[in-house]
């Protein structure tokens, strides 16, 4: 994924980009050799039959999906599209996946989903060879046009990264910065700012969702691990390498979390909060900081107070004097290994990955699709927070980008998240946490 660093400017330019081009047509002739005939799709290569699409509806909403699906239906009138969508769709469709009767296309996002787990369970189609033949409207190869390359498992590609997101720390701009409190630049200034807010405003400065501790893991700890140990440490932690979680570097970072808890910076009710409740508390001024991705303003659009203004920084967990760190978080699109209609599934995936829909995605969601060369700089629908955030991330003196090899498997992330919430509630020390995490990693390795 060396292109991640080479395309720093492309990413940070992409957040503001605008280049309205023609939708790339799906070319079935290029892929005819690896397309199997089935009852849903016709054997002569025409795209027809039932096509089941599963997509999670969360902070990004579903308006972009409705647009793309409607356009695809118009392009391929012989396809009968069956949508499986909603905020709980991953749980609702679990039995279908377990019984080897999955939908054809799946957007992997939201609680209850894990790309790594699906790959490990053999549920996703290997796309390595097929994706090489996909071209965008101007002839650019899709594989060369990602802001961040697809995650690879033993060198193979099983999903294509559709959404480029990054976790960070949102703050109440009316309170922090404009309100006189310091915008943190590192962990020590973070603690100082939170202490001042706690004393001056009488609130618990930091909130997150205790029901989904991976928000804190991905939003606060991944950047800290990257800043302290680089891509190598991130990879070792995510893949559960022996000794990674009990390393001195990780223990030092977990001591920072312990300090946040002991000094009363974390909301005392964190354990009971789901993600929307924590976000609502933040918007209502009960807290000043919250770790979330770019979807936050869109997800909470109907609940934002009239005078509320968002501020965004990469999570300030790094040591003093070090630049901010971010770890891109991708939301992929994949095809089921047991897809009933692989021809239509491939046509839909290829149809969605265009620069026209990348521009549309930013308009619908206030976030970024994982495609370069899309100019949104003159687009009035791009929100100000996205402009400011990407200007900051575009400055290498302020921000360093780190990469993870692929998402952490749910088999490892779940027990680590359980231990993490115990630490944040004060029921576990940092030393006990790293020991528990190391045990979880050993179990994940099969030891």
Q: Give me the CATH number covering residue 377.
A: 3.40.190.10
User: Are residues 204 and 67 part of one domain?
Assistant: no
Flag whether pLDDT at 236 surpasses 90.
Answer: yes
Integer Cα distance of 254 and 431 in angstroms: 8
Give mean pLDDT, residues 88-115: 95
Asked if residue 112 belongs to a domain, the reply is yes
**Is the torsion defined by CA of 352, 356, 358, 364 positive or negative?**
negative
Output the pLDDT for position 391: 67
Q: Which residue has the higher pLDDT, 221 or 401?
A: 221
Give mean pLDDT, residues 70-92: 97
105: confidence class by pLDDT, cuts 50, 70, 90:
very high
User: Are residues 230 and 313 part of one domain?
Assistant: yes
Output the pLDDT for position 29: 40
- Region of 202 (left: φ > 0; alpha: ψ -120 to 50; beta: rest) is left
Give mean pLDDT, residues 238-253: 98
**Is the torsion defined by CA of 357, 361, 367, 369 positive or negative?**
negative
Flag whether pLDDT at 405 surpasses 90.
Answer: no
The tokens for 383 are: 């929100």
30: confidence class by pLDDT, cuts 50, 70, 90:
very low
Output the pLDDT for position 268: 94
Count of structural domains within the chain: 2
Q: Which residue has the higher pLDDT, 394 or 173?
A: 173
| Residue where the block lists tokens 């976790």 | 167
Answer whether 148's CB lies under 8 Å from 369's CB: no
395: confidence class by pLDDT, cuts 50, 70, 90:
confident
Flag whether pLDDT at 207 surpasses 50.
Answer: yes
User: Are residues 72 and 98 part of one domain?
Assistant: yes
Output the pLDDT for position 334: 98
Asked if residue 271 belongs to a domain, the reply is yes
User: Are residues 425 and 375 part of one domain?
Assistant: no
Question: Coil, strand, or helix at residue 289?
Answer: strand
Give mean pLDDT, residues 270-279: 96
The tokens for 258 are: 């312990």
User: Are residues 414 and 267 part of one domain?
Assistant: yes
User: Are residues 158 and 57 part of one domain?
Assistant: yes
Give mean pLDDT, residues 47-52: 97
Flag whether pLDDT at 188 surpasses 80.
Answer: yes
**Is the torsion defined by CA of 258, 217, 202, 184 positive or negative?**
positive
394: confidence class by pLDDT, cuts 50, 70, 90:
low
Percent of the chain predicted with pLDDT > 70: 88
Asked if residue 9 belongs to a domain, the reply is no
Give mean pLDDT, residues 176-182: 91
Output the pLDDT for position 267: 97
Output the pLDDT for position 401: 87
| Residue where the block lists tokens 């957007």 | 107
User: Are residues 296 and 438 part of one domain?
Assistant: yes
42: confidence class by pLDDT, cuts 50, 70, 90:
very low
Asked if residue 177 belongs to a domain, the reply is yes
Of 54-58, 129-133, 258-262, 383-387, which range is least confident?
Answer: 383-387
Answer whether 332's CB lies under 8 Å from 349's CB: no
User: Are residues 116 and 34 part of one domain?
Assistant: yes
Answer whether 384's CB lies under 8 Å from 22's CB: no
| Residue where the block lists tokens 């290994």 | 337
DSSP letter assigned to residue 296: H
Output the pLDDT for position 368: 83
Flag whether pLDDT at 295 surpasses 90.
Answer: no
Q: Which domain holds residue 250?
A: 168-326+409-444
Sequence-separated (6 or more) residues with CB below 8 Å from residue 266: 204, 206, 207, 208, 260, 424
Answer whether 82's CB lies under 8 Å from 341's CB: no
Output the pLDDT for position 27: 38
pTM of full prediction above 0.85: no
User: Are residues 160 and 54 part of one domain?
Assistant: yes
* pLDDT tens-place string over residues 324-354: 999 988 899 999 999 999 999 999 999 999 9
Integer Cα distance of 146 and 322 in angstroms: 28
Asked if residue 10 belongs to a domain, the reply is no
User: Are residues 340 and 308 part of one domain?
Assistant: no
User: Are residues 283 and 419 part of one domain?
Assistant: yes
Asked if residue 46 belongs to a domain, the reply is yes
Give mean pLDDT, residues 114-124: 94
Give mean pLDDT, residues 149-153: 89
Flag whether pLDDT at 14 surpasses 50.
Answer: no
Strands 168-172 and 310-313: antiparallel
Flag whether pLDDT at 58 surpasses 50.
Answer: yes
User: Are residues 27 and 154 part of one domain?
Assistant: yes
C-alpha distances in Å from residue 283, one per residue of 155, 158, 172, 224, 264: 43, 38, 8, 25, 20
Integer Cα distance of 147 and 164 in angstroms: 8
Give mean pLDDT, residues 190-198: 98
Asked if residue 14 belongs to a domain, the reply is no
Asked if residue 38 belongs to a domain, the reply is yes
Flag whether pLDDT at 20 surpasses 60.
Answer: no
Mean of the per-residue pLDDT values of the chain = 88
């Amino acid at each position: 994924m060396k292109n991640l660093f080479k395309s720093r400017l492309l990413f940070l330019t992409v957040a503001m980009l605008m280049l309205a081009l023609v939708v790339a047509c799906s070319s079935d002739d290029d892929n005819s050799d690896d397309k199997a005939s089935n009852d849903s799709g016709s054997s002569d290569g025409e795209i027809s039959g039932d096509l089941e699409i599963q997509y999670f509806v969360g902070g990004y909403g579903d308006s972009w999906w409705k647009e793309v699906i409607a356009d695809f239906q118009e392009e391929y009138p012989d396809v009968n599209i069956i949508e499986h969508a909603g905020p709980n769709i991953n749980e609702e469709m679990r039995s279908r996946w377990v019984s080897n009767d999955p939908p054809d296309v799946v957007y992997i996002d939201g609680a209850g989903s894990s790309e790594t787990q699906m790959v490990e369970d053999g549920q996703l189609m290997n796309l390595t060879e097929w994706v090489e033949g996909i071209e965008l409207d101007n002839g650019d190869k899709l594989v060369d046009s990602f802001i961040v390359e697809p995650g690879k498992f033993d060198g193979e590609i099983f999903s294509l990264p559709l959404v480029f997101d990054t976790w960070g720390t949102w703050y109440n701009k009316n309170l922090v910065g404009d309100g006189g409190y310091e915008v943190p630049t590192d962990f020590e200034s973070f603690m100082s700012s939170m202490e001042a807010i706690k004393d001056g405003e009488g609130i618990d400065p930091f909130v997150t969702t205790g029901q989904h501790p991976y928000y804190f893991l991905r939003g606060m700890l991944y950047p800290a691990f990257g800043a302290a140990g680089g891509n190598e440490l991130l990879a070792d932690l995510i893949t559960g390498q022996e000794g990674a979680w009990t390393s001195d570097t990780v223990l030092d970072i977990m001591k920072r979390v312990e300090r946040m808890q002991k000094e009363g910076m974390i909301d005392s009710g964190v354990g009971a909060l789901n993600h929307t409740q924590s976000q609502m508390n933040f918007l209502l001024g009960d807290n000043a900081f919250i770790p979330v991705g770019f979807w936050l303003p869109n997800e909470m659009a109907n609940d934002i107070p009239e005078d509320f203004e968002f501020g965004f920084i990469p999570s300030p967990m790094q040591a003093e004097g070090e630049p901010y760190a971010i770890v891109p978080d991708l939301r992929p699109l994949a095809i089921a290994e047991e897809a009933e209609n692989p021809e239509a599934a491939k046509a839909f995936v290829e149809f969605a990955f265009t620069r026209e829909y990348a521009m549309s995605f930013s308009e619908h969601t206030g976030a970024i699709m994982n495609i370069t060369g899309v100019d949104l700089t003159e687009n009035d629908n791009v929100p100000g927070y996205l402009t400011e955030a990407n200007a900051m991330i575009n400055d290498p003196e302020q921000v360093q980008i780190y990469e993870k090899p692929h998402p952490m498997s749910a088999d490892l992330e779940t027990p680590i998240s359980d231990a993490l919430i115990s630490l944040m509630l004060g029921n576990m020390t940092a030393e006990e946490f790293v020991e528990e995490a190391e045990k979880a990693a050993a179990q994940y390795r099969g030891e």
